[in-house]
A and B are shown apart, each in its own frame.
Chain A
């Protein structure tokens, strides 16, 4: 008896020890990446400048770097780094959640039409010639509205498989919203508005401000909270409705909560950055290959991997050429081949 208790304590210590070191390690990697990102870009800034500015801002040391360098680091790069970390983490967590909820590995955060709705909102704003803030507001509302419509259809159409109904409704609503986007593109001024619409839809962090990040951060936290707090129940949800209910999980209560959380963070991210594909689809798979399918570990791993991945991709996007390479293009170009390689190399673990 006492031996088994000791073994259990040992196992727990090993388990916690592993988790602490993994958390520390990923924290260090993210911090190093963030510092590298702060020191890299089109405007020449040295690591010493970064140290100066951070020392001045955080520790109140005398400012030695020029005002422009301060602007570059604090107003251009820092918001970008923070936004990349937050958005990458959020999209990956949302993807992991949706994949569990829908018990389908092909699901990404825009399965219920968030991106299409947000895209239509933003395009409408550009078409009407609105300033940036209302464009972002319209995108956010569009994303939430699209999912609300899809969910409403799911409630109204009482089929045997509520998950399938949601997915099909998401496809249909997404198609209608996509048609709306295309219509506005056709009506837009081809020499001025059309390029603006195209660039907006491709996804970029190029003009993110701390104000933007501050505006979406509460929504991100609000959306992430239920995902993180209920992550062990997601293990049960991913067994399917009947099994989950047999184990005492109220799927009818839990599902809308999780969908609302994942939708909120996706809509907040897309309204600020435009559509950044592939992260929410791929990062959870990579995390699953690394830590296994248990959501208690899968969700934190997805958060950390997503944050680091988007930060790295954004670093490429803003340094590779004079123009900004749209993030959605890079995430697909970098992510898909890496994913295929991982799939081939790690096929035994998937099986």
Chain B
């Protein structure tokens, strides 16, 4: 979608970048990223620029002190849940993917030692990474953004940044969390798992079909995506389709939608609405279920699994939240904050 043709200014910036890279004079070491690209990394990495929102969350959780900035500025509501140093970092925009907005000269001015991206490893993104690297002279590493490879992605990023011990710890905790949920749910037969509809958009009529990155967590949490017959992308559906699916549970990012459907005749008959099982995804500092589909979904996995199978997860959710936020987001929440984070997201009818 985006062209990387070199304009005059960009050519200048490119030359400047190469000059900076060579003038740095740090020792280089080869690093093979998740897409199989071998990149020369400087020995000491102090400044890392995330290329997109999933990479920003990943980087923040591992090395907040080394972030040069955000992709988009954190919203005011998110600030209490972020480490103080990172609250005022500048926003540089997206470097790849649809609608890249980062200014290449701005990126160069940030003087990152490395650019890190997390997401699809397909040829499109690999070649985009090559182009940005060639243009800026800054090494660009691509990491696997799929949810299942989260622990491995932590270890790889740790190896790249020289933070192996910290990365291993996060990888182990992520693995524990994923395994713990999988083990608890494993015995539940498919036909006893709740059927879940993921409602997106202002009317709640857009959804992620089974296999889409947006609903990866849904099935891992022991739910069945009612929208199973798509091609793994986002799509819009009609209200009667949702009625025909008659989901047991609805998950949405939008509190206004969750409130509206309680009185809307189109939705009133749906099992999830009648039984009060409409859940709004907690949003701060990063949404728990999607948007972006990054490591922020780890806590969402445990949250949704607990909502779908309350009997299988006896540990109180506020405790889980506090521990997760301490380890991954570097903030200590008091019990009231953790409870509020959870309370604001479940409409009154549910519990």
Query: Which A residues are within 8 Å of any B CB, using their own CB?
Result: 41-44, 67-68, 71-72, 75-77, 125-126, 129-132, 135, 185-186, 189-192, 194-196, 199-200, 204, 206-207, 209, 318, 322-324, 326
Contact = CB atoms under 8 A, between A and B. Distances in A.
A324 B98 contact: no
26 contacts: A67-B269, A68-B269, A71-B266, A72-B240, A72-B243, A76-B239, A131-B202, A132-B203, A132-B260, A189-B291, A190-B98, A191-B214, A191-B292, A191-B293, A192-B253, A192-B290, A195-B200, A195-B201, A196-B202, A206-B239, A207-B203, A318-B240, A322-B227, A322-B241, A323-B236, A326-B236
Interface string B250-274: 0001001000100001101100000
Contacts of A324: 205, 235-238, 241
B206 interface: yes
A209 B203 CA distance: 12
B97 interface: yes
A295 B167 CA distance: 74
A68 B246 CA distance: 10
B294 to A, nearest CB: 9
B323 to A, nearest CB: 26
Contacts, number: 111
A42 B201 contact: no
A253 to B, nearest CB: 41
Given A76-B239, A190-B94, A209-B266, A126 B230 contact: no
A263 to B, nearest CB: 25
B202 A68 contact: no
A71 B269 contact: yes
B206 A191 contact: no
Interface string B186-206: 000000000000001111011
Contacts of B214: 191
Given A131-B260, A192-B290, A194-B99, A322 B237 contact: yes
Contacts of A186: 99, 101
B22 interface: no
Contact of B237 (A77, A131, A206, A209): A206
A42 B265 CA distance: 18
B266 A206 contact: no
A76 B205 CA distance: 13
A326 to B, nearest CB: 8
Interface of B: 53, 72, 94, 97-99, 101, 200-203, 205-206, 209, 214, 227, 229-230, 234-241, 243-244, 253, 256, 260, 265-266, 268-269, 287, 290-293
Nearest to A187: B101
Nearest to A189: B291
B53 A190 contact: yes
Given A41-B238, A71-B243, A195 B265 contact: no
B238 A206 contact: yes
Nearest to A44: B244
A281 B287 CA distance: 44
Nearest to A76: B240
Contacts of A68: 243, 269
Contact of A204 (B72, B236, B243): B236
A191 B53 contact: yes
B239 A207 contact: yes
Given A41-B238, A71-B243, A76-B266, A185 B99 contact: yes
Contacts of B243: 43, 68, 71-72, 76
Nearest to A199: B236
Given A196-B200, A199-B201, A209-B266, A191 B290 contact: yes
A42 B206 contact: no
B237 A75 contact: no
Scoring A41, A185, A207 by chain B CB atoms within 10 A of each residue's CB, the highest score goes to A207
Contact of B234 (A77, A195, A206): A195
A71 B273 CA distance: 15
Nearest to A45: B240
Nearest to B254: A129
Given A186-B101, A207-B239, 17 more contacts: A41-B238, A42-B240, A42-B241, A43-B240, A43-B241, A76-B240, A130-B202, A190-B53, A190-B94, A191-B53, A195-B206, A195-B234, A199-B201, A199-B206, A200-B201, A200-B202, A324-B238
A196 B243 CA distance: 21
Closest 6 CB pairs of A and B: A323-B235, A191-B291, A192-B291, A196-B201, A42-B241, A43-B240
A131 B234 CA distance: 21
Contacts of B269: 67-68, 71
Contacts of B201: 195-196, 199-200
A207 to B, nearest CB: 5
Given A71-B265, A192-B253, A322 B229 contact: yes
A131 B99 CA distance: 25
Contacts of A196: 200-202, 206
A192 B97 CA distance: 14
Contacts of B292: 190-191
Nearest to A77: B240
A43 B260 CA distance: 23
A125 to B, nearest CB: 8
Nearest to A41: B240
B178 to A, nearest CB: 21
B99 A135 contact: no
Nearest to B52: A190
Most buried by A among B53, B230, B266: B266
Nearest to A74: B265
Contacts of B94: 190
